[in-house]
Amino acid sequence: MKQPEREQREPAITPSDSVDISVSQESQGSVAEHSRVRFWLKQALAYGLVTAASASTVLWVTGKEITPTASTAQQPQYQEAQSQEIQFYSTPETPSNLAQTETLIAQGAATGTQRLIGGANFIADAVDRTGPAVVRINSARTVTSRLPAGFDDPFFRDFFGDIGPQSRVERGTGSGFILDANGTIVTNAHVVEGADEVTVTFKDGRELLGEVIGEDSLTDLAVIKVDARELPTVTLGDSDALRPGEWAIAIGNPLGLDNTVTAGIISATGRTSAQIRVPDKRVQFIQTDAAINPGNSGGPLLNERGEVIGVNTAIIGNAQGLGFAIPINRAREIASELVSRGRVDHPYLGIQMLTLTPELKEELETRQEFDAPLQTDSGVVIAAIVQGSPAARSGLRQGDVIQKMNDQTITDANEVQRIVSDTDLGDAIALTLNRNGRTVNLDVRPGPYPVQTGRR
């Protein structure tokens, strides 16, 4: 098999290789010094090859030091590696950088580049740590279909007989992960929605019946409980600390292919539900190019240490590399509510809103959507109000333009949603509105979103 081009260009360095070093008689030292220089040169060459191949940084070897370029000095990870190299070459008794890297790997603190130098396959290690806690979830729901009105007429019965409601069983497959050793499992709500029976299959082949103890459709999260003890569990990471470009590893059961692993990077964070075309959800999604397919729903998205940073939940059809996950910090909050209460109460106002721009203003005026022309070009316009909602009770009107919330200037509808979601039920939000050119100040108190989110 033809090897990758980079591997063909790089010479292999092994302990048995000889390195020819020309030293004048005047500069020759002890045999120990000569051996130390030879060992240093081999280590420096190996380190330089790996580093140059894995990043844009170039390390120049001058004498017995490693001098970073200007771009290197700006990168904390490479500053640390460079200082370790100088210490090694100036003090022969200090352990080698390779040994230090292997120690970091064992402690789980090595960076991606350090792991490559140490020869560790960190993706496989992450999967080994988390894989046993990933499960397959099979659901079955009975769907009853009825004939159109009028087909129960005696005339039709003479031809077709007594045709009553028809029932069929729909089956679906998804993924999930074990949150605690006593059988609490997190998955997507759409995996178990309306299910009459849920079966959980573990990596070791065991199958157990699961009970859905809570669902939340607005965040697409659900919690399942199985009767088991001492189960393997996942370790949760911190999704608030994610940066685009970090490693992302997905584990799940796509298309019935159990224990499938895919890898990529974090492509973006903070993607709104409107951006990924699911406007009915209340999540700021993680975007990843790690392959996600039907059946991955509810499975974990991991960082390079094997910590769960998200719950895989959505893809955009007819696209590649556009997968989305619910941040684990948000999922942890929702799962805790579902376990303790069986439901989640989401604050809501009861308005339909649009981000106002000069172009949208012109279109709305052309269509005469409101009783009076809008008198501002920016803010968030209220397009409709749900009857009996907190917004209606607070005196909001169709055509009002929200310009401030709690003294914060509002320019986008997503900002309104975020502030409402972060407000406790019953707490007041101070609104500043433009109403037909007049400034109106009023308070609105969010109420619970009127959906049935649990099964208890």
Catalytic center residues: 190, 220, 297
The C-alpha atoms of residue 70 and residue 55 are separated, in whole angstroms, by 14
Measured CA distances, 328 to 52, 148, 236, 239, 336 (Å):
35, 45, 7, 6, 12
Beta strands in 357-437 (DSSP E): 379-385, 401-405, 408-409, 429-435
**DSSP track, 108-145:** T---HHHHHHHT--HHHHHHHHHGGGEEEEEEEEEEEE
Give residues with Cβ within 8 angstroms of 233, minimum separation 6. Answer: 133, 178, 179, 180, 181
Measured CA distances, 228 to 43, 67, 323, 335, 340 (Å):
51, 57, 32, 19, 19
Measured CA distances, 182 to 150, 208, 227, 236 (Å):
53, 13, 7, 17
The C-alpha atoms of residue 251 and residue 131 are separated, in whole angstroms, by 7
Instruction: Name the helix (H) or strand (E) containing 390.
Output: helix 390-394
Contact 88, 94 (CB under 8 A): yes
First to last CA, the chain: 59
